[in-house]
Structure 1
Amino acid sequence: MYAQNKSSAGPRRTGYNRPVPTRLRMGLVMRRDMTFGALGDVEGALRAEGVGLAPISTGDASLMAGGVTVLATATAKDIAEGRLKGLIVPGGSIDEASVAAVRSLIDLARTSGLKVIAFADGVALAAASFGVTAEADGAVFEAGGATPLTERADLTKAVAAIV
């Protein structure tokens, strides 16, 4: 009925959640059995900060997440050529092949000057690559060292600082 006449008396949409515009693109290292540790699932928090996540495969087994096949939209070449602003490294499977792939992506991000945000056992992998010590459920790694992430507010500050 409201569609038939052009009146401003139609129902109003209140509380409508508009998606946040993407302001930067970061690579998400896909690992089998991905976990973000005590910080929970941070993918939604990153998207709320305007981060577009580009999955990067570490092997065929990594492309299945919760029974859903995820298509990789970024590669190591995107890191090397500067199309990504950072790398998100969740914890996950520790088989030798996938850990080697994760290490190579972290090393490439480090040499390209990108920030690496790591969670769970990904923190230890990133700390080894950056040559620092970090013992936390999450940490931000950059050339100057590591900053621990103890709560989501720390993650929000870290992402806001990325330009």
Structure 2
Amino acid sequence: MANEIKKRTIEMKKESVLKAAIRLFAEKNYDATTMAEIAKEANVSFGSVSIYFGNKEELFKACIEQPLEEFSKILLHFDTTPVSYRDEIQTFILKHFEWFSTQNVYLRLLVQLTGQYERFSEAFKIVNEHTEKLNDKVSQLIVNGQQANQLAKGNAEKIAIS
């Protein structure tokens, strides 16, 4: 029982550090944010931040990667074989616009990452892999719609990327 409480406390502290880091990196940018500021914002010791995430670059990577796992589940939640392909695409697009409109802080992190993709190559690779999964699934939706004669013919991969 005590062990479970300790594990839960550590997870809560890690989550607090991650939220603080995401907000500070997004507001101030990577270079202007210090590990000490993150620790203070998360109300944990400086050493805890290092223990949980290693160095600043690893923490930044975690700030990109951990929310992305959850977000990918949301973004990939659509049917590639619906009754109406046009309706599914319309719903998909609307859902994505609505979702992205609520992710202002995280999107600022992605802009920083994209602008410095060589510097943060590991994190960029992870985002790129998730983007490719989304593109592949959208491509499949388009191909299926074309085969069902519900969508115009064309290069499904290029259409998906668009």
For normalisation by structure 2, the TM-score amounts to 0.26
Higher strand share: 1
For normalisation by structure 1, the TM-score amounts to 0.26
Higher helix share: 2
Larger-Rg structure: 2
